[in-house]
């Protein structure tokens, strides 16, 4: 288990990070995103990798500024088969309305896990938010791994899961399925995290029967959704949220009825997952 975090963390000159829950999520203030120095970007990289999610309130980034921000962590990447903003090469428009009859969740997942080099960091910028609802919830996959017994941790060593595409605009543009380790190490922190996602994308455990694999993946997926390991973000105008896909999952809550909800997503490339 991680050490008890400080409530307020002093960083490179002018930056401050406020821990948002016990172990997941930090609010980063003290400098606007376009003005961050290289040293401050490295502080943000470390914080987001450690706490899974970083929140920058009141930024009101333009799409160009949003792309520039993520490009300072690594080259930008996109989800194969997904439509993008017509004017910005690496901006995906996340636009949806809620469900007035049966509010639901988009399901916890990690972004674009079905490629050889899944994105390391993803970011959403608030463009149009509902008056209520439409939150995004993040869960900490370090804590999900830490919660496993020594026997289960040993069993997962060297095990790989098969990841396939779902939910894209043009599935024919998506590469073949890939195999990633069930447990991956975050190169920024050196910590191990579970690397699973919802059943439509994480479909098989290497060397196991379909029934065995499905039961194992389902158990690990449910184990990942512990309340103490979550941070729920209530969107405010101008918010920018960045998270580390290597140690977190996230889910949108579609409980905002007919109110519009529009966010811009930008992602940067990661490494091949390794245990």
Mean pLDDT, the chain, integer: 91
| CA–CA gap between residue 94 and residue 265 (Å, rounded) | 7
Q: What's the average model confidence in pLDDT over 21-28?
A: 96
| Per-residue model confidence (pLDDT) at position 81 | 73
What are the chain's domains? Answer: 8-269 (3.60.130.10)
| CA–CA gap between residue 104 and residue 96 (Å, rounded) | 12
Kindly state the tokens that stand for 54. 């970083």
The distance of Cα 154 from the centroid of its chain, to the nearest Å, equals 26
pLDDT digits (tens, 9 = 90+) for 89-108: 899 998 876 665 665 667 89
| CA–CA gap between residue 207 and residue 274 (Å, rounded) | 18
Contact 65, 34 (CB under 8 A): yes
Location of structure tokens 């069993």: 155
Contact 161, 200 (CB under 8 A): no
**77, 64, 73: which is closest to 34 by C-alpha?**
64
**208, 163, 199: which is closest to 181 by C-alpha?**
163
| CA–CA gap between residue 73 and residue 49 (Å, rounded) | 12
| Per-residue model confidence (pLDDT) at position 198 | 87
| Per-residue model confidence (pLDDT) at position 155 | 97
First CA to last CA distance, the chain = 18
Kindly state the tokens that stand for 192. 């191990």
| Per-residue model confidence (pLDDT) at position 12 | 60
Q: What is the pTM of this model?
A: 0.92
Contact 267, 119 (CB under 8 A): yes
Whether pLDDT at 135 is above 80? yes
| Per-residue model confidence (pLDDT) at position 127 | 95
Q: H-helix or E-strand containing 67?
A: helix 63-71
Whether pLDDT at 223 is above 90? yes
Residue with the bigger pLDDT between 171 and 240: it is 240
């Amino acid at each position: 288990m991680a050490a008890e975090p400080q409530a307020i963390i002093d960083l490179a000159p002018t930056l401050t990070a406020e821990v948002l829950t016990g172990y997941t999520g930090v609010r980063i203030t003290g400098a606007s995103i376009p003005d961050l120095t290289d040293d401050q970007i490295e502080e943000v990289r470390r914080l987001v990798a450690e706490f899974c999610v970083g929140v920058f309130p009141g930024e009101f980034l333009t799409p160009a500024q949003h792309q520039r921000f993520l490009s300072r962590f690594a080259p930008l990447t996109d989800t194969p088969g997904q439509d993008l903003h017509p004017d910005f090469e690496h901006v995906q428009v996340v636009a949806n309305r809620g469900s007035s009859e049966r509010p639901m969740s988009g399901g916890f997942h990690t972004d674009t896990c079905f490629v050889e080099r899944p994105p390391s960091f993803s970011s959403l910028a608030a463009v149009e938010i509902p008056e209520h609802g439409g939150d995004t919830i993040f869960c900490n996959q370090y804590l999900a791994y830490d919660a496993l017994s020594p026997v289960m941790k040993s069993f997962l060593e060297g095990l790989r899961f098969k990841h396939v595409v779902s939910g894209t605009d043009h599935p024919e543009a998506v590469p073949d399925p890939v195999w990633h380790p069930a447990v991956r190490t975050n190169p920024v922190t050196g910590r191990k995290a579970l690397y699973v996602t919802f059943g439509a994308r994480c479909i098989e455990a290497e060397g196991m029967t379909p029934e065995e694999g499905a039961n194992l993946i389902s158990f690990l997926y449910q184990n990942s959704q512990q309340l103490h390991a979550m941070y729920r973000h209530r969107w405010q105008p101008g918010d920018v949220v960045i998270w580390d896909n290597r140690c977190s999952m996230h889910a949108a809550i579609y409980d905002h009825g007919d109110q519009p909800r529009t966010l811009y997503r930008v992602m940067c490339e990661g490494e091949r997952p390794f245990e």
